[in-house]
């Protein structure tokens, strides 16, 4: 492949270069993967209003996310095992973000540690994603390490108290590093570029955990510890405790429901992320873009609303911003770039999304991403006709709000006339 022009091009190249179990880990959804597919497909159901004869010179995509200046409203989402997509993957992705001017979020379940990323990026601030585990001493330690590493925000994931069933991971026997089974060795033999990279790095295990938890010194003890650690008893009281313990900017990830969004506001968090964990947890859940409008309408004036899930182009970012998001996150899109070409691939993914976002904004007659609103969208299954209003004269969103008009939407779905009829396929 000589010319890369889209995220799909990067995906195809990554599939060729990354071992099967790690490519599948990034590409997998839970159960039937219907929500995983809907995340992307529902974006494509949204239609844009093209405008002409408008001065579109001097365009700007610059904005802020939780008060931090960004070159475009995009951050890299936390993705576990990024360092298994490419050697030292988290470090390379963080470097690309630093140069591009967008936030990088490091996962608790990363291969490179908090300290690795901080050292290799020259102390440039990045965000750290935290899972709540039973071992509260370990959580305290992670928070302290994030502070010491100059992390400028904590992203607290709320939708992984238990792990969704991901069939590909189970069938592949996914582990880091890969277990030396015959099937794995045969597959690794076809990925010489990846193998050479891994031979050249010492970072092949979960860097935030191994050596930082008593009794966890190898993959066997790590697997046993991890399987018991995600805390099913997580409540909003724990969120309050973590906020106070952290003391800095806090972003809550995994909000889909309006009531949960209101509870998130009550914690005093700085932002929430409308997210279904990339379709990796509850299969059959609403797509993130379909859930976004109702959350924005309910709490968008009280807290900064971000979203992730299914973003594969700059047009998808534009549509999320039009529905009221103040920022977006890309996960698989940057992982494909990383697996395909390392740091250069992450940069390429950001360049593609930046260019597509800029062109889309221009075609819709805007020059400043901060001024984009719902007027750029045509009525459709995600964004209902703004002339139909509810009791409070607010637009109705057929994909995300139950109202007096829900019966009309249900009838459309039943008849197959609504675009959402196939949202979960």
> Roughly how many angstroms between the first and final C-alpha of the chain, as a whole number?
31
**Is residue 312 annotated as involved in ligand binding?**
yes
Distance CA 31, CA 144 (A): 36
Residue listed under structure tokens 């379940």: 109
Q: Is the dihedral of CA 162, 166, 172, 176 positive or negative?
A: negative
**Is residue 245 annotated as involved in ligand binding?**
no
Q: Are 156 and 4 in contact (CB under 8 A)?
A: no
Distance CA 48, CA 390 (A): 23
**Is residue 425 annotated as involved in ligand binding?**
no
Distance CA 48, CA 379 (A): 9
State residue 385 phi and psi, 5-degree precision: -60, 120
**Is residue 35 annotated as involved in ligand binding?**
no
Residues, the chain, total?
425
List the catalytic residue out of 277, 306, 316, 354: 277
**Is residue 50 annotated as involved in ligand binding?**
no
**Is residue 332 annotated as involved in ligand binding?**
yes
**Is residue 80 annotated as involved in ligand binding?**
yes
**Is residue 89 annotated as involved in ligand binding?**
no
**Is residue 277 annotated as involved in ligand binding?**
yes
Distance CA 384, CA 44 (A): 15
Check if 366 is active-site.
Answer: no
Q: Which residues pair with 273 in a beta bridge?
A: 253, 306
DSSP helix/strand/coil, 371: helix
**Is residue 309 annotated as involved in ligand binding?**
yes
**Is residue 418 annotated as involved in ligand binding?**
no
Rg (CA), the chain: 21
Distance CA 227, CA 259 (A): 30
**Is residue 331 annotated as involved in ligand binding?**
yes
**Is residue 403 annotated as involved in ligand binding?**
no
**Is residue 306 annotated as involved in ligand binding?**
no
Percent of residues in the chain assigned helix, strand, coil, to nearest 5: 45, 10, 45
**Is residue 107 annotated as involved in ligand binding?**
yes
Q: Which residues participate in catalysis according to the annotation?
A: 277
Annotated binding site: 25, 78-80, 107, 129, 131, 157, 166, 253, 275, 277, 280, 308-312, 331-332
Annotated binding site for glyoxylate: 25, 131, 166, 277, 280
Annotated binding site for FMN: 78-80, 107, 129, 157, 253, 275, 308-312, 331-332
């Amino acid at each position: 492949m000589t010319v890369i022009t889209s995220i799909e091009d990067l995906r195809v190249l990554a599939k060729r270069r990354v071992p099967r179990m790690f490519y599948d880990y990034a590409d997998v959804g839970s159960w039937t993967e219907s929500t995983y597919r809907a995340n992307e497909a529902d974006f494509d159901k949204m239609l844009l209003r093209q405008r002409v004869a408008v001065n579109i010179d001097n365009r700007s995509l610059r904005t802020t996310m939780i008060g931090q200046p960004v070159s475009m409203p995009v951050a890299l989402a936390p993705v576990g095992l990024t360092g298994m997509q490419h050697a030292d993957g988290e470090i390379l992705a963080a470097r690309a973000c630093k140069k591009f001017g967008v936030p990088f979020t490091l996962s608790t379940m990363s291969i490179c540690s908090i300290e690795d990323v901080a050292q290799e990026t020259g102390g440039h601030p990045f965000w750290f994603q935290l899972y709540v585990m039973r071992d509260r001493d370990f959580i305290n330690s992670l928070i302290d390490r994030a502070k010491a590493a100059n992390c400028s925000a904590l992203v607290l994931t709320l939708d992984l108290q238990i792990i969704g069933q991901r069939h590909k991971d189970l069938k592949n026997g996914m582990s880091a590093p890969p277990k030396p089974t015959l099937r794995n060795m045969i597959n690794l033999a076809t990925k010489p570029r990846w193998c050479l990279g891994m031979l050249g790095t010492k970072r092949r295990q979960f860097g935030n955990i191994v050596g930082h938890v008593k009794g966890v010194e190898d993959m066997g003890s790590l697997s046993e510890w991890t399987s018991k650690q995600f805390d099913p008893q997580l409540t909003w009281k724990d969120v309050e405790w973590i906020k106070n313990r952290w003391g800095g900017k806090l972003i809550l990830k995994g909000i889909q429901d309006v009531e949960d969004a209101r509870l998130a506001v009550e914690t005093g968090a700085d932002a929430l992320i409308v997210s279904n964990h990339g379709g990796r947890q509850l299969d059959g859940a609403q797509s993130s873009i379909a859930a976004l409008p109702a959350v924005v309408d309910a709490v968008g004036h009280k807290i900064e609303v971000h979203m992730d899930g299914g973003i594969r182009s700059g047009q998808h970012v534009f549509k999320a911003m039009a529905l009221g998001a103040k920022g977006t996150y890309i996960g698989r899109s940057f992982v494909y770039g990383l697996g395909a070409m390392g740091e250069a691939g992450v940069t390429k993914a950001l360049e593609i999304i930046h260019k597509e976002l800029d062109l889309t904004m221009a075609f819709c007659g805007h020059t400043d991403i901060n001024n984009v609103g719902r007027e750029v969208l045509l009525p459709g299954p995600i964004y209902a006709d703004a002339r139909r209003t509810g009791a409070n004269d607010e637009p109705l969103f057929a994909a995300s709000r139950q109202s007096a008009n829900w019966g009309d939407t249900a009838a459309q779905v039943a008849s197959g006339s609504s675009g959402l009829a196939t949202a979960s396929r």
